[in-house]
Structure formats: structure tokens, C-alpha cells
Structure 1
């Protein structure tokens, strides 16, 4: 009798578990016979495996999972090809995709947010492709560094403006708006929540909406914390304005800079007298940083033997990120802890980053970025 009681109790518990509301994702992957299809959660802490199936001839699949308490993100994966989608409640998401172009040629139904996520994914892929093509054109010396930088800036601005208007501010309470915030270019966030006041506004809009609808959700809390940190990093510090003696300027020919490198050593700009110097203000944790550094590396490799040096100042809020990135660069890398409110950047009237200045071998300011029509030609003229 006791045994029957415990079996019945276990059956009741199992029934209660199975009765939890669930969402379903189903569909077909054509041409994938014998391949494994994985369902994974894109959680805050990383990718979490949920289920898998070995696809047969018709490629059909069906997964069920307990619905999330608030909008969450999931993905289907075949080999290293991924389809991202979101789930709000107990909907059924239908996905049909070919194995070959799994990540781009799929069709999704039953989830308007997932349709928007597909649109964003394809736009980001196109942006990355355009940037890669621009880099190749620059490396083949078909365009100058100035044209490269201007073109890169236009590509990024146009992309961000479109996404802001049509995906973030148009519906900040949606999973698609949240997804848009964390898209990447060159493995860096396109929208920078730590260093850009304009981008922080995008994060704040989504954070406010999420907090209104899902105040207890982990994603809401995490996004709110990101916004607070970004606002703190970009708040104008109460600090003494940098005062530079006139004799120091006339003696060196430039406004001298003394900041510490990764090893803690003070590196002075004026110590580079005798070399032609590219003075560069940048933020490594930005979408344009990698492409900008490709351009600088190309110039550096060509002319370092002729007396070129680069003095690069990071305005990154994240010191660890700066150290990790700058560790692989061959030129002088320093960081200003005041970030976007760097007194040195202010002294050089830096309006946006990256910002490039040229200094001749006599330690005299020769040109600033917006006046340089051909950076490589200008560098060669100083050597």
C-alpha cells in the first residue's frame, strides 16, 4: 500500500511539472540529414544547452521548453551556424531554413520580435561585409587613410541612425530593441554604453521600458546597471582645468602629454622629439577601433623604420579592456583615466574619436585630422 502511495505521489509531481506553460519551436532544416540541431538559451551568463535532435531526411524538428517569466533569447544551431530568436510567452515559433545558408536564408513565423531580429541580423552582416571591403580597399592602397576613416564613419552613422529610429526608439519595450543594443561590429558593440552619451540614451530608453514591464527580470536589472555605469563614466568630473604654462608650449612646440603605459611608466609625448609622430586619441571599446587600428598598423609597418612613431591615448572607461587590447600593439599606448573628459583631449580640442594629429621631428604640431587630405602623404612629408 505504501509503495502504491509513493508511485502515485511521483505521478502527481510529474504531472504538475508537465503542466507548466511551455513555448514551442518547430520547423524544418532542409539538406541537413544526419546533422545535429541544438536548441540553446542565450542567457546573460552565456550560452546554455537546452535540447538537441539528430535531423533525419525531411529535416523536421520540434522542441518544447518552459516559457520564460520575461522575454528571453534563444538560438538554433547547426555546426557553427546560428539562428537567433526571442520568446515572450507560450508562442509557437516556426523556423524553416536550408542547411547551407542556415543563418541568413531562414524564414521565421509566429514571433514578430524574431522577424525583427532576423532583419537586424542581416543588416549587421551587411555592415560587417561593407567594413571588411573598405579595409581591403585601404590595405590595397586604392584609397587613402582619410577616405577610409570618413567612409567608415559614414557607414557606422547611417547604420546606427537607422537602427535607433526603426528598432530602438520605435519600440523600446520589445526584445528586438534589446537585441539591437548588443549587436557587434569587429567583435565590439556598435552602440557603446560606457563611453558615448548618445548611445547611453538608447540603452536608457530600453532599460526604462523593460523596468516598467518586467521590474524583477535579471535582464532589466542588468541593463539598468549598465546605464548607471555609463552615466557615471560620462558625467563631467569636478576637476581642475588643465593649466599649461605658455613657456612649456613654446619650448616643446606642442602641448606636452604625460600619461602612464600598461607597465605604469610615464610616457611623455615630448620625449619622442626626433621622430615623426601620429598622436591618436581613441576608444578601443568602440566599433570603429579595430578598423582604425588596421589603418594605423599599415602606416606604422611601412614607416617605422624611417622614423615614424605613434602615441595613442585611450579614453576607455574600462581599464582592463584597454590593457588587454593595447597589449598587442607595437606603438606607445597610454590611457587617460578621465576618459571622454580627458583634459589633454580638451586641450587639443578633440571633438570626436578617433582623432589624429601629426607632430614633426622638432616636436611641433604639423596638422590635425580634419585638415589632412591624405594621411600617408602627410606622414611621408614629415620623415
Structure 2
């Protein structure tokens, strides 16, 4: 009797669970017989497996899962290929894809946000392909580093302007706008919420809209916290203008920089007299950082044995991120905790990130980045 009662209660409990409102994802994946298809949640804490199915001959599949309380993000994964989509409530999203080009050649129906997310994903993929092409050209000596830097900056500027206008500011209350904020290039966020004032405004627009519609949602609270931190980091402090005496410049040839590296050791630019130095102001969390450092690494590996050194000044707001990234770099890495309001960067009249200067063996400022047509050629001259 007790066993029968237990079975009955278990069945009732399962029935109660099944009665929860669900969203559905269904469709077909052609030419994928025997392949495993996974449904995963792209949650704040990371990727969470939800369900899976082994595809049969016709490639049809159907998933059902509890609806989210606020817009959430999910993905279909086939091997290492991923399709991102969003769910607002109990809708049915239909996604049809071929096995080949699974993450690119798919169609999505039943979710306007998911259609926009597809557009954004394809745009990001195109941007990454173009950046990879630029990197291959500079590595193959088919493009000058200075042309590479300019081309990379232009690509990123055009991409961000397009996404800002057509996806973020056009509909900041949508899941697609939120998705746009966290797109990456070379594993770096394209929109920087901690170091770039214009990008912080994008995050703020979406945070405000989400907070109005879903004030108790975890994503709303998280985004709000990011914006507060970004506004704090990019708010110009009240400080007096730092004037550098001419005597300091004339005696040393450069404006002295004395900042601590990851080990806490003070590293002075003037101590590098006798070497040719690439002085680089950068933000590691920017989308161009990885490609920029790849270019520097090519030069460093080629000419370090001949007396080239790199003195790289990070203006990152996030100290931990700086330490994690800089730990893999072979040159001198220091950080100015004043970030984008660094008095040192101001003294060097740094206008953009990254910004390069060349210092000769006598510790004299030789040339600044915007005047350099061929960085490698200029380095070779000084060596």
C-alpha cells in the first residue's frame, strides 16, 4: 500500500512539474543523422546544459523547458558550432539548419529578438574574419603595422556605430540590444563598459530599459552594477593640471614614467637608456588589444635580441584583468590606476588607445605613433 502511495505521489509531483509553463524550441538539422544536439542556457554564471537529443534521419528535434521570468539567452550546440537565441516567455522558436554551416546558414522563426541576434552574430563573424585577414597580412609582411592599426580602428569604429544606431539605441529594451553589448572580438568585449565613456552610455541605455520592465531580474541588477562601476571609472576627477617642468624633459629626453609592474616593482622609463623603446599606452580590455599585442609581439620577437624593449602602460580600470593579461607578455608591463584620466597619458598628449611612441637609445623621444608610417622600419633605423 505504501509503495503504491509513493508511486502515486511521485507521479503527481512529476505531473505538477510538467504543468509549469514552457517555451519550445523545435526544427530540423539536415544531414546530421546520429549527431548529438544540445540545448544550453547562456546564463550569467556561464553555459548550463539543459537537454540533448540524438538526431535521426530526418533531423527533427523538439525541446521544451520552463519559461524564464524575464528575457533569457539560450543556444543550440552541435559539436563546436553554436546558434544563439533568446526567449521572452512561452513562445515556440523554430530553428532550421544544415549540419554544414550550422551556425551561419540557419533560419529562425517565432522570435523577432532571435532574428536580430542572428543578424548580430553574422556581423560579428564578418568583423572577426576581416580582423583575422588584417592580422594575417601584417604577419606576412603584406601590410605595414601602421596601416594595420588604422584599418583595425576603422573596422571597429564602423561596426560599433552600426550596432549602436541599429540595435542598441533603436530598441534598448530588447534582448537583442543586451546581446549586442556583450559581443566579443578576439575574446575581448567590443563595447567596453569600464574604460570607454561612450560605451558606458550604451550599457546605461539598456540597463535603464531593462530595469523599467524587469527590475527584479538578475540580468537587470548585474547590468546596473556594471554601469555604476563604468560611470565611476570614467567620471573625470577634480584635480589640478599637472605641469611638467621643461628641465625634466630636457634632462632626460622623455617625460619620466615610474609605475609599478605586476610584482610591485617600480619600473622607470629612463632606466631603459641604451635600448630602443616602444612606449605603448593601451587598454587590455579593449577589442583591439589582442591584435595590437600580436603586432607588437612580432616586432619584439624579431628585434629584442638587438636591443628593442617595450614599455607598455595599461590604463585599464580593472587591475585583476590587467594582471591576468599582462602575465603572458614578455615585455615591461605597468599600470596607471588613474585609468583614462592618467596625468602621464595627458602629459604625452595621448588622444587614442592604443597610442605608440618611439624612444631612441639616448632616452630621447624620437617619434609618436600618428607620424609613423612604417613602425618596423622606424625601429630598425633606431637600432
TM above 0.5, one fold?
yes
Q: How does 1:61-72 map to 2 (within 5 A)?
A: 61-72=61-72
Structure 1 residue 177, shift from structure 2 partner? 0.5
In 2: Cα distance, 1:172 partner to 1:232 partner: 22
2:168 maps to what in 1? 168
Q: How does 1:312-351 map to 2 (within 5 A)?
A: 312-351=312-351
Q: How does 1:281-300 map to 2 (within 5 A)?
A: 281-300=281-300
Query: Deviations 1:157-196 (Å, cap 9, x if unpaired)?
Result: 0111111111111111110110000000000000000000
Q: How does 1:3-22 map to 2 (within 5 A)?
A: 11-22=11-22
Structure 1 residue 56, shift from structure 2 partner? 0.7
In 2: Cα distance, 1:8 partner to 1:277 partner: 77
In 1: Cα distance, 2:5 partner to 2:364 partner: 91
Structure 1 residue 27, shift from structure 2 partner? 0.5
Structure 1 residue 382, shift from structure 2 partner? 1.2
2:115 maps to what in 1? 115
In 2: Cα distance, 1:150 partner to 1:192 partner: 19
1:75 maps to what in 2? 75
Query: Deviations 1:61-118 (Å, cap 9, x if unpaired)?
Result: 0011111000000011111111110000111000111112111111111111111111
Query: Deviations 1:318-358 (Å, cap 9, x if unpaired)?
Result: 11111111111111111001111111001001111100111
1:251 maps to what in 2? 251
Count of residues in correspondence between the two structures: 383
In 2: Cα distance, 1:270 partner to 1:219 partner: 47
1:371 maps to what in 2? 371
In 1: Cα distance, 2:7 partner to 2:303 partner: 80
Structure 1 residue 237, shift from structure 2 partner? 2.3
Structure 1 residue 4, shift from structure 2 partner? 7.1
2:203 maps to what in 1? 203
2:356 maps to what in 1? 356
Q: Aligned to 1:68, what secondary structure does the other structure show?
A: coil
Root-mean-square deviation over aligned CA pairs: 1.5
In 1: Cα distance, 2:14 partner to 2:306 partner: 76
2:87 maps to what in 1? 87
In 1: Cα distance, 2:129 partner to 2:177 partner: 23
Name the TM-score, length of structure 1 as normaliser.
0.97
Q: Aligned to 1:69, what secondary structure does the other structure show?
A: coil
Name the TM-score, length of structure 2 as normaliser.
0.97
